[in-house]
Amino acid sequence: MLEKQTLGFQTEVKEILNLMIHSLYSNKEIFLRELISNAADAADKLRFEAIAVPSLYENDTELSVQVDFDPKARIVTVTDNGIGMTRQEMIDNLGTIAKSGTREFLASLSQNAARDAKLIGQFGVGFYSSFIVADKVTVVSRKAGVAPEEAVRWESQGMGEFSVENTVKTTRGTEIILHLKEQESEFLDEWRLKTIIRKYSDHIPLPVIMKKKEKDKEENEIVNKATALWNLPKNEIKEEDYNEFYKYIAHDFEAPLLVMHNKVEGNQEYTNLLYIPARAPFDLYQRERHHGLKLYVKRVFIMDDVEQFLPFYLRFVKGVLDCNDLPLNVSREILQHNRQVESIKSGLTKRVLTTLEKIAQEEKEKYEIFWDQFGSVLKEGPVEDTQNRDLIIKLLRFSSTNSGDIKQRVSLDEYILRMKPQQKHIFYITADSFSAAEHSPQLEIFKKQGIEVLLLHDRVDEWLTMHVTEYQGKTWQSVSKGKLDLDEIGESKEEKEEQKKGEKEFKDLIASVKEALGERVQEVRISHRLTTSPACIVIEDHEMGLQMQRILQAAGQVVSQAKPILELNPSHPLVIQLNQQQADKEKLSNWSSVLLGQAILSEGGHLDDPSQFVQQLNKLLIK
C-alpha cells in the first residue's frame, strides 16, 4: 500500500482558490451545482465505459448522486456511484488545472470582485468552489473495477497543499465531504439544500437523492426532476428551465442570449439544445480552445467538447446534441470521417445561422450584444464555410461613415442599397481604431460626395477583405489604395477639368517634392481625395494595406514594406504657398518631409525618425 503523501497545489490552483473565495462569495451556493455536475459527469463516464466493459457496473446499475448533511458534525456530503478516481487521477484532477490559457486568464483579472465573478464564472469554477463554503474538504473515491483497498482519500484545507492516502471503500464512486466554515450553517438545512438542487440541477439526467426522515423511517427522495431537458416537449419547458440548464452545462452565472431547441426527424434523427452565451469566454481566440457541445447517442452520454458538429467559427455555441443514428461506440476518429456527422453538422450550422439572421432582423438590440461578443469570430465564417458564405456575409456588421457612431453598424446589404448609381465598389478604410478610421484624410472626398465608406477597425477586417473578394457582384475598394476613379465617386465635368488644370499647375512642385523625399516615397502626385487636409499617403491597388502590414509586423513577421505614394491637395493653402516658393530649396525640403510625416501620422502609422520630424517642423515654425 502506498503511504500518505502531501503535495502542493499548482500555482494556478492557489490563485483560483484565493480569487474564488473572495469574488464568488455572493454566489456561494453554486458549489453544490458544481459538485452535482461532476457527479453527473462521473455517471456519464461510467455508462460510457460500461458499454465496452459491462462488469464495471458491479451489479449496481442505478446511477445517482446523494446529498446528505449532518448539523452536529457540520458537514455536507455529496456521494455518487459513478466512475470514481484512482490515486493519480485525484492528484492530477484535484491539484492542477489543465485548461490552456489559465495563466493569461488569471493575469487578466482585476481586483474588482463583481467583474471577476462574471469572468470566473465563464472560466468554469468546478470542484474548487467547495472551498467557498468549506474550510476542509475530504474526497474518498474508488474507481470502477478497482479493489476496495485501493480506494483513495484526498484532503485539503484549500490553502497551499493537499494530502492523498490509500483507504478502504466498498462502494464504487466518489464521496465529497465538506466541512463547513463556521458562518455557513445555512447549508445544514434540508429545505435550503433542496431549493438549491431544484434551482440548478432540476434537469440534469441523473437523480439527486436526499434522505427523508419520517418518524423512525428513513426514505430516499428524488429531489430533482432528473429528466434530460432536451427530451421534453418544448411546450413543457419554461424559459427558466432552459436558462438553468444552460448555467449547468456552461458553468455560467448569466442566462444565455439565445436558445435553440429542435427535434429533427426523418433521414437523420437527432435533438439539439444549443445556446449562445451572453458573454464571450476568455479563451475564444485560442486555437486549441474547447468546443462546447456534449454528444449523446440515444440519451447515453458519449463525450464532451465535440468539435465535429459545428464549424470552428461557431465555437462559441454551447449545448447538447443527442443523436439516434450513431453507434454507441462512436469515437472521435469515427466522427471525423462520417457522412452522417457531416449532414448533422450542416443542419446545425444552418440552424444557428438562420436563427441569428432572424434575431438580426427582429431583435436588433439582442443582435448588437451578440455582435459585440462574437462578431469578430463570425467574420472567420465566410472563409471557412464557403457553402454558407452569403448567409454569413449577411450577418456581418461594420461601422460606417453613414452614422459616425461606432455602435451603429451596417450590413453589406444595407450598404449596397445606399450605393450611388455610378458606384461600382464597396468602399472601405482600415485603421486600428474607430476614430482613426473615421478621421482619415482619405475619406474627405467621399464625405463631400456623400458616398458611404465602411470604417474597418477590427483586426480581422483587412484579412476578410482579402479573402472574401466579392459580394452580390460588388468588389471591395480601399479608399487609400490606387488611383481614384473620378466618375465613380461622382465628380462633375467641371471638377474633373479643375483637377486637370491643377495637375499642370503643380507639375514642377510635384517633381521637386519627389526629389526632396527621394527613396522615402514611391511617387508624389496631386490628390483627388482631399478637401481639408494638405496631404495623405496611399499605396498601389495590389499592395498589402498599411494596417495589415502593421499587424503582421507586430506579430513578428517580415513584411516587405510597400513605399507609400504621397498625394498633395492642390487647393490647400500650404500646398499653394509651397508652389509659389519653390526656389527656397531648404524650405521646400523641410516642408516635403513635414507633409509626408503628418500624412503618415494621420493614417495611424509610425515615423521612422520622429525627432527629425520635430526638428524640421520647428524650423518651419520659427520662420
Contacts of 516 (CB under 8 A, 6+ apart): 588, 589, 592, 593
Amino acid at 570: P
Of 121, 126, 256, 534, which lies in the binding site for ligand ADP, with binding defined by CB under 6 A? 126
Site for ligand ADP in 90-119 (CB under 6 A): 93-94
Q: Which range in 126-134, 179-187, 239-247, 322-330 contacts ligand ADP by CB under 6 A?
A: 126-134
174 belongs to the binding site for ligand ADP (CB under 6 A): yes
Q: From the CB of 175, what's the least distance to ligand ADP, in Å? A: 9
83 belongs to the binding site for ligand ADP (CB under 6 A): yes
Q: Residue 240 corresponds to which cell in the numbers above?
A: 427558466
Of 42, 344, 526, 548, which lies in the binding site for ligand ADP, with binding defined by CB under 6 A? 42
464 contacts which partner out of ligand ADP, Mg ion, none, CB within 5 to 8 A by kind? none
321 contacts which partner out of ligand ADP, Mg ion, none, CB within 5 to 8 A by kind? none
The residue assigned the cell 519653390 is 582
Give the residue with the Cβ less far from ligand ADP, 174 or 440.
174
Instruction: Report the alpha-carbon distance of residue 268 to residue 261 in Å, rounded.
Output: 16
**DSSP character at residue 460:** T
Amino acid at 573: P
Give the residue with the Cβ less far from Mg ion, 35 or 297.
35
Give the residue with the Cβ less far from ligand ADP, 84 or 382.
84
250 contacts which partner out of Mg ion, ligand ADP, none, CB within 5 to 8 A by kind? none
202 belongs to the binding site for ligand ADP (CB under 6 A): no
Instruction: Work out whether strand 208-214 and strand 65-70 pair parallel, antiparallel, or are unpaired.
Output: parallel
SS3 content of the chain, % helix, strand, coil (to 5): 45, 20, 35
482 contacts which partner out of ligand ADP, Mg ion, none, CB within 5 to 8 A by kind? none
Query: Closest Cα partner for 90 from 25, 24, 167, 159?
Result: 167
Give the residue with the Cβ less far from ligand ADP, 96 or 231.
96
Q: From the CB of 127, what's the least distance to Mg ion, in Å? A: 6
Of 19, 63, 82, 344, which lies in the binding site for ligand ADP, with binding defined by CB under 6 A? 82
137 belongs to the binding site for ligand ADP (CB under 6 A): no
* 546 close to 429: Cβ distance less than 8 angstroms: no
Question: Under the rule (CB under 5 A), what is the footprint of Mg ion?
Answer: 38, 126
Q: Where are the alpha helices (DSSP H) in 3-159?
A: 11-23, 30-52, 87-93, 102-108, 113-123, 130-133
Give the residue with the Cβ less far from Mg ion, 126 or 604.
126
- Strands (E) across 298-423 are located at 300-306, 318-323, 399-400
Instruction: Report the alpha-carbon distance of residue 425 to residue 488 in Å, rounded.
Output: 9
283 contacts which partner out of Mg ion, ligand ADP, none, CB within 5 to 8 A by kind? none
121 belongs to the binding site for ligand ADP (CB under 6 A): no
Q: Residue 121 corresponds to which cell in the numbers above?
A: 464564472
The residue assigned the cell 435553440 is 260
Instruction: Report the alpha-carbon distance of residue 169 to residue 109 in Å, rounded.
Output: 41
Site for ligand ADP in 20-39 (CB under 6 A): 34, 38-39
Instruction: Report the alpha-carbon distance of residue 147 to residue 169 in Å, rounded.
Output: 9
Instruction: Report the alpha-carbon distance of residue 456 to residue 597 in Å, rounded.
Output: 23
Q: CA-CA distances (angstroms) from residue 411 to 161, 398, 414? A: 54, 6, 5
Residue 448: exposed, middle, or buried by beta-carbon count in 10 A (0-12, 13-18, 19+)?
middle
Give the residue with the Cβ less far from ligand ADP, 83 or 551.
83
Amino acid at 111: Q
Of 20, 56, 85, 177, which lies in the binding site for ligand ADP, with binding defined by CB under 6 A? 85
Of 80, 155, 244, 452, which lies in the binding site for ligand ADP, with binding defined by CB under 6 A? 80
268 contacts which partner out of Mg ion, ligand ADP, none, CB within 5 to 8 A by kind? none
Give the residue with the Cβ less far from Mg ion, 199 or 619.
199
39 contacts which partner out of Mg ion, ligand ADP, none, CB within 5 to 8 A by kind? ligand ADP
Instruction: Report the alpha-carbon distance of residue 567 to residue 443 in Å, rounded.
Output: 13
Q: From the CB of 84, what's the least distance to ligand ADP, in Å? A: 6
42 contacts which partner out of Mg ion, ligand ADP, none, CB within 5 to 8 A by kind? ligand ADP
Enumerate binding residues for ligand ADP (CB under 6 A). 34, 38-39, 41-42, 80, 82-85, 93-94, 124, 126-128, 174
